[in-house]
Structure 1
Amino acid sequence: MNISIDWAVLLPTLIPALGAVLVLLVDAIVPRRRTPHFGIAVVTLGAALAATVPAVLQGFDRPLRSLCLPEGGCFYVVDEVGAGLQAAAIASALVIVVMAAPVRTQKSLSAIQLSAMLAATAGAVGVIAARDLAAWLVLLELATLPTIFLVALRARRTAIDGALNLLVTSLLSFAVTAMGVAMWFAATGEATFDADVVLAAVEVPETRRVLAASLMLILAGVGFKLSLAPFHLWTPEAYAGASAPMTAFLATVSKVAALGALLVVARPLVLVGGATLVAVGVLAALSMTVGNVMALRADDTLRFMGWSTIAQGGWVILPLLTASSRAVHAAAAYLLVYLVATLAVFIALICIAHQQGRDAMVSFEGLRGLGRRQPWTGAVLGLGLLMLAGLPPAIGGLLGKVYALQPVADQRHWVMLVIAAVNVMLGVAAYLRWVWQIFSSVRDETPARELRAHPLHQAMLAIALPVLVLVNLMPQWLFVLLD
């Protein structure tokens, strides 16, 4: 079998994977040297991000292809939405690597940490474009399994508990997803996610039922990784136990991988329709409601971000319950808004943790008056939270919610619109509770002595605020990644 390979199209996946191996090789030659490890990771991710530029600039009707068969089918396809998600995953990983550089870890573990992050990023980028069942399943797990070590890296009891929860969930989700993939092959007779084979299977009642069951299992398996309710229980524990940079990695890169994997099967979801679309709507409604209600009760910032991720996951998949051609674009657009806001929140939290310690960062009470003591940090944190809430002046967050609701409104799913409206109000209440803490007055006006933030974190804060302002003033600059 002759397969044509366009290596340039594969570079965004291959470069982080090679970087993961290179980090380990350098550590074997020059052990216990953190600086070379971080240097390799930054250069690798920068090169991978540059490699996504041709795909981002491609025309709407000209997806980039690789691993193609002589008869025309391809196993690796990057369309305009996939290109934007690939760039977003790599950019998020790059920000988190820079964010994690000043954070203390054992020198003997830094190489493994960065290798795991690069490997997970390679999986996240690859699964977005994979079109054959085997590669899709392997890359999805590659994006997940290294995160178990990243959660456990902090080596505290809460971290071990979170890692065990994530491990058990990952094994269960893999089993469910693998069963769905097997049933897909049984229904279609093909080992690819191809719309033509789906159409052929849908025409036969027996295979249509098997295909519907397959999609339900795949949706459940990916739902674990996207932190959708009721598959969400691992998320608050893992977020609370991991270090702040690794929590940021879970909340961003891992979610891009999960949505990218889900979008590969989104078109078959539309073709099969019926119960599968209803299941998407139920998951979206449950996730938004459970996440927002539990976020109202959270008193730990990292657990709050865990519940926030669950609620935001509901918004991400909300457009997919429609048969609209814009559903995939709307889901990806909302995810981009979520990524920018979440990264901003974690940049501010990590800066606080480096100055005052982890306890000050995880406590809502410890953040009281932050906007008065550190206006720049408070502004970044507050604007990021307002984006997640979708409240002005964070116009980007508001527009993201409009994007997510538009396909649902066009299809006149009134029940889902009412549920979404209720959850907008719940989300506003949850996020404003934190924003109020940041900008409220401190009972003890005596200024607490704080260490100076690390210069790298100060630089990231200095970049984050104008980026947030720009994204909210001109959000179309963010969405151009998907056009």
Structure 2
Amino acid sequence: MPAQITGLFPELIPHLALAAGGLAALGAAIFRRGAPRGLLPTLTALFALVPGIWAFLPGPEASGMTRFYAGLLSAITLGTVGLLARYADKREFSGDALYGLTLWSALGMLLLAEATDWLMLLLGLELASLCLYALVAARLNDRLGAEAALKYFLPGAVALATLTFGISLIYAGSGTLDIADSLAAGGPIVTAGLALALVGIGFKLSLAPVHLWTPDTYQGAPAPVAAFLSTGSKAATAAALLHLCADASPDAMALLSPALVAVSGLSMAVGNIGALRQKSVKRLLAYSSIAQMGYIAMAALAVGAGGGEAALFYLAAYALMDLGAFGAVGALSGDAADRDAIASYRGLGYDHPWLAGSLAFCLLSLAGLPPTAGFIGKFLVFGAALRAGYTGLAVFGILMAVIGIFYALRLVATLYMRESVEAYPAVPAPAGPAGGLTLWAVAAGLLWLGVWPGPLMAAIAKLVGG
């Protein structure tokens, strides 16, 4: 038994680091009164860095997918902490709970992303979600944030119940909780359970028609928290979706594929067309994330034709895009509330060229324009869909992507309109060293993946093949 524990320990390092980091952040509050102001974010960043380092170290017998998601979620968590450091301090909610819950939510996301049995999937999803509910309402005096958390929590509870019931049906039909074995068993009961499980997962991914919570929640949440919710939660849940589509029996996929095609197309349409009508930047980004998840669902359908590799690349690019976009919104906002009205961004490209430039670059990547990572990601996803025979869905997705270019360029053009609007408050001091470094890293990453995607694609192909 000691030898088994010793052999298992290297695989648990990222999980133990995130769990211990949450406890350390809470414990550090005892000494915070006399400690430096940056103690909590620095401590949190150190623990969040461990899974990223572990992902590149040789030795642990972990799957390639576990390493990929450990590295991705580590980067997302580090970026979130960097964006939160000055933002939360200026708005007076940078307490120990904020950083502890961020690490524990990341732990839940990692458990969800690497889950190979249904109970672990359920545990990871719920741990991540419970922490996110509290993070959305982190500003106790913000009524909009409390409302957003409630609108996220109530339908989230229904989605969890649906997922749990689906898992019970899968277990009843297969006799096992192992995801691969249960889905390979097939049968009508397993197929019905898989359909219910996909409804619960679709809610967490903001796939239409279970997407209605997303715009209100993103608008009410603090901008860096919205970035964490939009990137980490979506990446981990997308991993579960890819796993289910890869392991489902041919009979189950034959029955569920038409529904996934409809959900993918509806999400791309609702997200891109819905964003056209928005006058709020955060709601525009929320609708954009709905559309992006539609592209991920399309890649999941083509998982047997290279869609898995395309989806992983797109998830990495999407994480950078949304992290940078929401981070720039927070950096360009005042201390009282986030700068949300599109009209209030007029002329900021001249007043704050670096912050506005990072927002513009992330928007161009979300639109899928070269030379950004978003262009390469969409190219790979559409190519996988075409190879898998989903030609109509791919053509429809390309048309929806053209609409996405329009609303992204509308906001970019607003940033560089000469006329300023005096009715809106001036932008405060810069984002701080951590926030500025995060935005610079995001922009560099999007450019690097857009110009030189080969190394990441080769690494993903090796991980998936292994």
Normalization by structure 2: what TM-score? 0.90
Show CA shifts across 1:207-232 (max 9, x none).
x1111111111111011111111111
Distance of aligned partners of 1:274 and 1:468 in 2 relative to their CA distance in 1, 3 Å threshold: closer
User: Amino acid of the residue matched to residue 6 of structure 1?
Assistant: L
Q: CA deviation at 1:134?
A: 1.5
Q: CA deviation at 1:418?
A: 2.6
Q: Root-mean-square deviation (CA), in Å?
A: 2.6
Q: Does 1:99 align with 2:83?
A: yes
Q: CA deviation at 1:9?
A: 1.5
Q: Does 1:254 align with 2:233?
A: yes
Separation in 2 of the partners of 1:51 and 1:41?
16
Partner of 1:337: 317
Partner of 1:214: 193
Distance of aligned partners of 1:89 and 1:444 in 2 relative to their CA distance in 1, 3 Å threshold: closer
Partner of 1:69: none
Task: Determine if contact 1:369/1:439 at 8 Å carries over to the other structure.
Answer: yes
Separation in 1 of the partners of 2:178 and 2:446?
40
SS in 2 for 1:194: helix
Task: Determine if contact 2:299/2:385 at 8 Å carries over to the other structure.
Answer: yes
User: Amino acid of the residue matched to residue 49 of structure 2?
Assistant: G
Number of aligned residues = 454
Partner of 2:451: 473
SS in 2 for 1:353: coil
Distance of aligned partners of 1:448 and 1:28 in 2 relative to their CA distance in 1, 3 Å threshold: closer
Separation in 1 of the partners of 2:93 and 2:319?
31
Q: CA deviation at 1:31?
A: 5.9
Q: CA deviation at 1:190?
A: 0.9
Partner of 2:348: 370
Q: Which of 1, 11, 14 is the matching residue for 1:12?
A: 14
Q: Which of 34, 38, 41 is the matching residue for 2:44?
A: 41
Task: Determine if contact 1:270/1:277 at 8 Å carries over to the other structure.
Answer: no
Separation in 1 of the partners of 2:249 and 2:414?
44
Partner of 1:299: 279
Moved more, 6-15 or 220-229: 6-15
Show CA shifts across 1:366-394 (max 9, x none).
11122222222222111111111101232
Matches of residues 321-332 of structure 1 in structure 2 within 5 Å?
A: 321-322=301-302, 324-332=304-312
Task: Determine if contact 1:133/1:193 at 8 Å carries over to the other structure.
Answer: yes
Matches of residues 348-387 of structure 1 in structure 2 within 5 Å?
A: 348-354=328-334, 358=337, 361-387=339-365
Q: Does 1:79 align with 2:63?
A: yes
User: Amino acid of the residue matched to residue 266 of structure 2?
Assistant: L
Distance of aligned partners of 1:448 and 1:141 in 2 relative to their CA distance in 1, 3 Å threshold: closer
Distance of aligned partners of 1:444 and 1:216 in 2 relative to their CA distance in 1, 3 Å threshold: closer
Task: Determine if contact 1:140/1:261 at 8 Å carries over to the other structure.
Answer: no
Distance of aligned partners of 1:362 and 1:448 in 2 relative to their CA distance in 1, 3 Å threshold: closer
Partner of 1:404: 381
Partner of 1:419: 396
Show CA shifts across 1:336-367 (max 9, x none).
1111111221232222115x8635x2121111
Task: Determine if contact 1:270/1:323 at 8 Å carries over to the other structure.
Answer: no
Separation in 1 of the partners of 2:300 and 2:355?
36
Q: CA deviation at 1:431?
A: 1.2
Q: CA deviation at 1:172?
A: 0.8
Distance of aligned partners of 1:375 and 1:103 in 2 relative to their CA distance in 1, 3 Å threshold: closer
Q: Which of 113, 127, 148 is the matching residue for 2:133?
A: 148
Separation in 2 of the partners of 1:22 and 1:448?
37
Matches of residues 192-341 of structure 1 in structure 2 within 5 Å?
A: 192-195=178-181, 197-199=182-184, 201-202=185-186, 208-269=187-248, 271=250, 272-322=252-302, 324-341=304-321
Separation in 2 of the partners of 1:340 and 1:451?
24
Q: Does 1:115 align with 2:100?
A: yes
Partner of 2:148: 162
Partner of 2:55: 52
* Gaps in structure 1 of 5+ consecutive residues: 59-63, 66-77, 203-207
Separation in 2 of the partners of 1:442 and 1:32?
46
Partner of 2:464: none
Q: CA deviation at 1:480?
A: 4.7
User: Amino acid of the residue matched to residue 85 of structure 2?
Assistant: A
Separation in 1 of the partners of 2:231 and 2:327?
13
Show CA shifts across 1:61-113 (max 9, x none).
xxx65xxxxxxxxxxxx533342222111111111111101124576761111
Separation in 2 of the partners of 1:181 and 1:191?
8
Show CA shifts across 1:20-50 (max 9, x none).
1122222245569653322221110112211
Separation in 1 of the partners of 2:148 and 2:425?
32
SS in 2 for 1:328: helix
Moved more, 173-182 or 373-382: 373-382
Separation in 2 of the partners of 1:116 and 1:386?
32
Distance of aligned partners of 1:309 and 1:270 in 2 relative to their CA distance in 1, 3 Å threshold: farther
Identical amino acids, percent of aligned pairs: 27
Separation in 2 of the partners of 1:405 and 1:330?
9
User: Amino acid of the residue matched to residue 135 of structure 1?
Assistant: M
Distance of aligned partners of 1:451 and 1:268 in 2 relative to their CA distance in 1, 3 Å threshold: closer
Moved more, 126-135 or 98-107: 98-107
Q: Does 1:128 align with 2:108?
A: no
Show CA shifts across 1:183-215 (max 9, x none).
1111111121124x543x23xxxxx11111111
Q: Which of 430, 436, 448 is the matching residue for 1:453?
A: 430
Q: CA deviation at 1:323?
A: 5.6
Distance of aligned partners of 1:388 and 1:32 in 2 relative to their CA distance in 1, 3 Å threshold: farther
User: Amino acid of the residue matched to residue 63 of structure 2?
Assistant: D
Separation in 2 of the partners of 1:183 and 1:444?
57
Partner of 1:75: none
Task: Determine if contact 1:13/1:123 at 8 Å carries over to the other structure.
Answer: no
Distance of aligned partners of 1:475 and 1:232 in 2 relative to their CA distance in 1, 3 Å threshold: same
Separation in 2 of the partners of 1:285 and 1:461?
32
Distance of aligned partners of 1:353 and 1:480 in 2 relative to their CA distance in 1, 3 Å threshold: farther
User: Amino acid of the residue matched to residue 426 of structure 1?
Assistant: I
Q: CA deviation at 1:460?
A: 3.4
Distance of aligned partners of 1:479 and 1:340 in 2 relative to their CA distance in 1, 3 Å threshold: farther
Moved more, 464-473 or 19-28: 464-473
Separation in 1 of the partners of 2:403 and 2:324?
22
Distance of aligned partners of 1:232 and 1:13 in 2 relative to their CA distance in 1, 3 Å threshold: same
Task: Determine if contact 1:270/1:322 at 8 Å carries over to the other structure.
Answer: no
User: Amino acid of the residue matched to residue 70 of structure 2?
Assistant: Q
Q: CA deviation at 1:305?
A: 1.2
Distance of aligned partners of 1:153 and 1:344 in 2 relative to their CA distance in 1, 3 Å threshold: same
Distance of aligned partners of 1:128 and 1:284 in 2 relative to their CA distance in 1, 3 Å threshold: same
Partner of 1:139: 124
Task: Determine if contact 1:143/1:257 at 8 Å carries over to the other structure.
Answer: no
SS in 2 for 1:161: helix
* Gaps in structure 2 of 5+ consecutive residues: 462-466
User: Amino acid of the residue matched to residue 89 of structure 1?
Assistant: L
